[in-house]
């Protein structure tokens, strides 16, 4: 069971295609693992073992008949519970939506069904993808598999936990201000926020329409690119969706770093918000390792991190308040305290605040993307701190804004979080790699080369019994 728990998509896919591994066997092992360990980690809000086995048997029957749908055929996965799966509740981890049954699949769910993937269930999230680790909701918060007393990041918390804990080889999350990359960094997995519009948001409960992204969390860079190959695609029913076809995001993964131009965005975590020494040293060491591998490294600068954060904050809070205004008036008691407070902040911004933030967003985005005239990717911090204790509300609030992820929701750029070591306490550290719009292949190339030169992804947590 342990071997199958940490089987990669790349390895499992080949074994399934060649009929050396049964999707049912793999799924049964993961079902047993979830049953044994998730009671202490709370990754799943809705675990679906019978439906999962039905999917696995269908996948196995198709493969036995000589019909192989591709590299996700027979591969188990989970969905963050703001993503619709027809016939199941989409709760957003909130009492507000506890009885909300999805009438249709989200676009990404449709894609994964068509690819033959095996659905394991719905995963924990911060309430409405914003609340933080709350203890006043109908379901408990997810916990870090490296130490259950610690925060696992969010808001795609269950997606990060399930992937790191060996419950699923991949999960789907969402990212409005860093919500894929935060749990990826805290849990020691790889997660990408693709270019805005590359993956449709149809069927995903919105947090902020102009900042929301959907993307995969996996344990390796190659697996991440494999999943994005399935998720990416134009959707005429999502007004933000863009049309790009024929891209293989795995194509550059084995090219290495020789000649790659890396921009080192140091001031985000050295000057603007000074990172915890362990996290700062991990990011520095990762850039130097990339230089050893043949990359050309130059220091780059953009506007201060605080300006990006303020821009993201005003847009996110204004748009999210507009979405939740009716419920905040009629059912305020049904939100968790943290969530309600964060949404109500949006009521304090004026229309001119929002419009000015959008104007600044355009300027910041143009200036930032101009940096890619001279570099291929930019490397900086993801989180500024390792995980804190989950029951320390002040510490969780403190580290929540100490991050360099929100700028790339503002710019819409592809950004990936990749593991970069461990703290003295044994908690994961990570880096962030960013590229120009639609250049996901570049972040995968750099991330894969760094991953191959280190041993971080080969280490897995010892789960609490």
Which domain CATH number covers 409? 3.90.1300.10
Whether the CB-CB separation of 376 and 261 falls below 8 Å is answered with yes
Distance CA 458, CA 220 (A): 9
Residues recorded for the chain: 465
In a domain, 122, yes or no: yes
User: What does pLDDT average to over the chain?
Assistant: 97
pLDDT at 266: 98
Q: Is the pLDDT of residue 195 over 50?
A: yes
Closest to 397 measured CA to CA, from 174, 139, 81, 154: 154
Instruction: Decide if 208 contacts 361 (C-beta within 8 A).
Output: no
DSSP string, 401-437: T-BS-HHHHHH---EEEEEEEE-TTS-EEEEEEEEST
pLDDT digits (tens, 9 = 90+) for 381-425: 999 999 999 999 999 999 989 999 999 999 999 999 999 999 999
Number of H helices, E strands in the chain: 16, 11
Q: What is the mean pLDDT of residues 347-354?
A: 98
Residue 389, pLDDT score: 97
The stretch 311-333 carries a mean pLDDT of 98
| HSE, side-chain direction, 13 A CA sphere, residue 246 | 0
Count up the domains in the chain and report the number.
1
Instruction: Specify the pLDDT at position 3.
Output: 87
pLDDT of residue 165: 98
Percent of the chain with pLDDT over 90: 97
Q: Taking the complete model, does pTM exceed 0.85, yes or no?
A: yes
d(CA 180, CA 175): 5
CA distance 451 to 72: 22
Give the mean pLDDT of 167-184.
98
d(CA 23, CA 357): 49
pLDDT tens-digit readout, 154-166: 999 999 999 999 9
SS3 217: strand
- Three-state DSSP at 170 gives strand
Q: Is the pLDDT of residue 465 over 90?
A: no
* Distance in angstroms (rounded) separating the CA atoms of residues 319 and 335: 18
- Domain assignment of residue 463, yes or no: no
Distance of CA 302 to the CA centre of its chain: 24
- Judge whether residue 294 has pLDDT over 70: yes
Within its chain, how far is the Cα of 407 from the centroid?
A: 15
Residue 35 placed within a domain = yes
Q: pLDDT tens digits for 254-292?
A: 999 999 999 999 999 999 999 999 999 999 999 999 999
Rounded Cα distance, 159 and 377, in Å: 26
DSSP SS3 for 80: strand
Q: Does some domain include residue 465? A: no
Q: 71-101 pLDDT, tens per residue? A: 999 999 999 999 999 999 999 999 999 999 9
The residue range of the domain holding 309 is 2-458
Confidence bin at 2 (pLDDT 50/70/90): low
- The region, left, alpha or beta by phi > 0 then psi within -120 to 50, assigned to residue 143 is beta
Structural domain includes residue 124? yes
pLDDT (tens digit per residue) in 17-63: 999 999 999 999 999 999 999 999 999 999 999 999 999 999 999 99
Residue 104: CB atoms within 10 Å:
13
> Does 111 fall in a domain?
yes
* Structural domain includes residue 341: yes
* 96 DSSP 8-state letter: G
pLDDT at 1 over 60: no
Triad 132, 218, 155: Cα angle to 5°: 10
Q: Catalytic amino acids?
A: 80, 155, 179
Domain presence at residue 434: yes
């Amino acid at each position: 069971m342990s071997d199958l728990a940490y089987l990669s998509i790349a390895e499992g896919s080949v074994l399934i295609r060649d009929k050396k591994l049964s999707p049912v066997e793999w799924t049964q092992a993961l079902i047993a693992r979830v049953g044994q360990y998730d009671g202490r980690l709370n990754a799943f809000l809705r675990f679906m073992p019978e439906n999962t086995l039905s999917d696995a048997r269908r996948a196995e029957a198709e493969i036995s008949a000589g019909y192989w749908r591709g590299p996700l055929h027979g591969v188990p996965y989970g969905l963050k519970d703001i993503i619709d799966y027809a016939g199941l509740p989409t709760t957003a981890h909130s009492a507000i939506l506890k009885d909300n049954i999805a009438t249709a699949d989200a676009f990404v769910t449709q894609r994964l069904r068509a690819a033959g993937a095996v659905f394991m269930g719905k995963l924990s999230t911060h309430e409405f993808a914003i609340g933080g680790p709350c203890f006043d909701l109908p379901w408990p918060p997810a916990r870090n598999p490296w130490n259950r007393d610690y925060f696992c990041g969010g808001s795609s918390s269950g997606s990060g936990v399930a992937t790191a804990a060996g419950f699923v080889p991949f999960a789907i999350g969402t990212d409005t201000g860093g919500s894929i990359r935060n749990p990826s960094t805290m849990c020691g997995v790889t997660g990408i926020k693709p270019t805005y519009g590359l993956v449709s948001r149809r069927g995903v409960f919105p947090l902020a329409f102009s900042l929301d992204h959907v993307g995969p969390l996996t344990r390796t860079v190659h697996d991440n690119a494999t999943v994005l190959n399935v998720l990416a695609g134009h959707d005429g029913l999502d007004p933000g969706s863009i049309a790009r076809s024929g891209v293989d995001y795995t194509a550059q993964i084995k090219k290495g770093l020789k000649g790659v131009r890396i921009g080192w965005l140091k001031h985000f975590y050295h000057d603007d918000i000074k990172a915890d020494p362990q996290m700062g040293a991990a990011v520095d060491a990762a850039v130097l390792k990339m230089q050893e591998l043949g990359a050309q490294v130059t220091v780059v600068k953009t506007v201060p991190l605080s300006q990006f954060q303020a821009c993201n904050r005003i847009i996110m809070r204004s748009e999210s308040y507009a979405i939740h205004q009716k419920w905040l008036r009629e059912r305020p008691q049904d939100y968790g305290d943290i969530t309600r407070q964060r949404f109500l902040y949006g009521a304090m911004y004026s229309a001119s605040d929002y419009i000015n933030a959008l104007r600044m967003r355009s300027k910041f985005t143009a200036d930032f993307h101009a940096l890619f005239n001279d570099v291929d990717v930019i490397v900086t911090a993801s989180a500024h701190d390792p995980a804190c204790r989950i029951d320390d509300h002040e510490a969780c609030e403190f580290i929540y804004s100490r991050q360099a992820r929100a700028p790339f929701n503002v710019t819409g750029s592809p950004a990936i979080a990749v593991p970069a070591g461990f703290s003295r306490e044994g908690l994961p550290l990570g880096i962030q790699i960013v590229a120009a719009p639609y250049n996901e292949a570049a972040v995968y190339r750099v991330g894969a080369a760094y991953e191959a030169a280190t041993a971080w992804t080969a280490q897995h947590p010892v789960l609490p019994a």
